[in-house]
């Protein structure tokens, strides 16, 4: 049952520092997850336009720090399951129970993602089918199956096949009803497939008919999770000392980063398309950051200033889900504005309680994001203080 319990929490948290003395626990992974959640909150909830530029997503090709948050989370999912499911991988008798837990968890993540999009009016004719939690669930499912049922060489071969195949498909296959293959937002093959299968009213942007977490781009996002699996398996090795494991992980991460930059020359780095170059670029940065944190926190046992990261990292999915749900509610109901007319509760908060105190609207947006993050930090701290770790 221990492997089953570990599988159930594979994408949310590991044990806190005070309880992390057991074998196979990574304090660095909790810290990495916490850092990712904090940046995610700052990026996702800036109040209103104009957003604080360093925390905004790039419009199309290219990459800003904000664009690294989601791939970091998928990378962490891969690392986590490499630790949580390792016993089951070597014990076929446990695999059936573990696979059922993985499937249950996947369905819950997908359902929670859809719940966010359905809230508050539950219009089933126009809700978004795909989304962030949905993609996390699908990546978790795919990577778990591959980790449990295939060898690392098979995983590596599939990783390369998906990245190369995705590149060729997007750049060579003509788009029905459009013409030659292209990488434009509204006319690429992935967008065409999403409109065909999901239909326009169930996309992220119904007006522009675009879905950044679309069907086709889910395949390379699985590769991001696999990079985490590779990193997790490497860090679990007992035949190498810690310094060697860290050095090789860092070197492999730098290689991925360089390959991503080189590949960018003909298949641009693009988060919304989740291009192959983006997988390598973001995965390289994630791997290097994990190697650094692992050396500092798990090898050198550095603990100063670590608590805030653990507070956010030990209930990551819960904080993400609730923060998105509350923001959706704040954006769904209107109130009277001082100058006349109505606007959403969120815009009322920003326009009347934050913006008047700043000369620069971008600074106001940053303050709103910091304030919103602090609110969820209080909840995360209370859960952490009471040792409440919510499993999904």
Domain count, the chain: 1
pTM, two decimal places: 0.90
Whole-angstrom CA distances from 386 to 109, 309, 311, 380 are 25, 16, 11, 10
144 within some domain: yes
22 within some domain: yes
Domain extent at residue 211: 2-385
Residues forming a β-bridge with 336:
342
Q: What local confidence, expressed as pLDDT, does residue 248 receive?
A: 97
Q: What is the pLDDT of residues 258-271, one digit of tens each?
A: 999 999 999 999 99
390 within some domain: no
31 within some domain: yes
Tokens matching residue 89: 């991988």
Binned at pLDDT 50, 70 and 90, residue 234 comes out as: very high
Q: Is the bond into 120 cis (omega within 30 degrees of 0)?
A: yes
307 within some domain: yes
326 within some domain: yes
318 within some domain: yes
392 within some domain: no
Q: What is the pLDDT of residues 331-372, one digit of tens each?
A: 999 898 888 888 889 999 998 999 899 888 889 999 999 999
Mean predicted confidence (pLDDT) in 56-78:
95
Phi, psi dihedral angles at 336 (to 5 degrees): -75, 135
pLDDT surpasses 70 at 209: yes
Q: What local confidence, expressed as pLDDT, does residue 359 receive?
A: 87
Mean predicted confidence (pLDDT) in 309-326:
94
């Amino acid at each position: 049952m221990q492997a089953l319990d570990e599988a159930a929490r594979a994408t949310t948290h590991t044990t806190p520092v005070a309880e992390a003395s057991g074998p196979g626990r990574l304090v660095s992974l909790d810290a990495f997850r916490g850092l990712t959640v904090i940046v995610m909150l700052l990026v996702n909830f800036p109040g209103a336009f104009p957003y604080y530029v360093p925390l905004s997503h790039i419009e199309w090709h290219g990459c800003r720090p904000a664009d690294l948050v989601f791939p970091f989370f998928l990378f962490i999912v891969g690392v986590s399951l490499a630790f949580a499911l390792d016993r089951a991988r070597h014990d076929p008798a446990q695999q059936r129970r573990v696979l059922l837990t993985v499937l249950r968890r996947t369905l819950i993540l997908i359902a929670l993602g859809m719940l966010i999009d359905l809230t508050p009016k539950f219009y089933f004719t126009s809700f978004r089918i795909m989304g962030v939690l949905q993609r996390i669930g699908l990546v978790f499912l795919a990577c778990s199956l591959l980790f449990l049922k295939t060898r690392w060489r098979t995983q590596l071969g599939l990783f390369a096949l998906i990245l190369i195949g995705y590149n060729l498909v997007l750049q060579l296959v003509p788009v029905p009803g459009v013409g030659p293959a292209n990488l434009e937002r509204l006319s690429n093959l992935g967008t065409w497939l999403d409109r065909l299968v999901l239909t326009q009213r169930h996309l992220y942007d119904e007006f522009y008919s675009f879905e950044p977490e679309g069907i086709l781009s889910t395949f390379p996002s699985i590769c991001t999770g696999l990079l985490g699996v590779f990193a997790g398996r490497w860090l679990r090795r007992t035949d190498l000392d810690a310094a060697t494991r860290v050095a090789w992980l860092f070197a492999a991460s730098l290689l991925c980063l360089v390959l991503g930059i080189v590949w960018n020359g003909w298949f641009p780095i693009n988060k919304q398309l989740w291009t192959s170059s983006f997988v390598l670029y973001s995965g390289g940065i994630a791997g290097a950051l994990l190697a650094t944190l692992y050396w500092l926190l798990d090898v050198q046992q550095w603990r100063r200033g670590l608590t805030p990261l653990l507070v956010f990292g030990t209930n990551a999915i819960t904080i993400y889900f609730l923060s998105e749900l509350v923001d959706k509610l704040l954006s769904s109901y209107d109130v009277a504005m001082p100058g006349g007319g109505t606007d959403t509760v969120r815009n009322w908060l920003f326009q009347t309680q934050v913006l008047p105190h700043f000369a620069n609207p971008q600074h106001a947006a940053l303050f709103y994001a910091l304030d919103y993050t602090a609110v969820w930090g209080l909840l995360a701290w209370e859960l952490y203080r009471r040792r409440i770790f919510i499993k999904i």
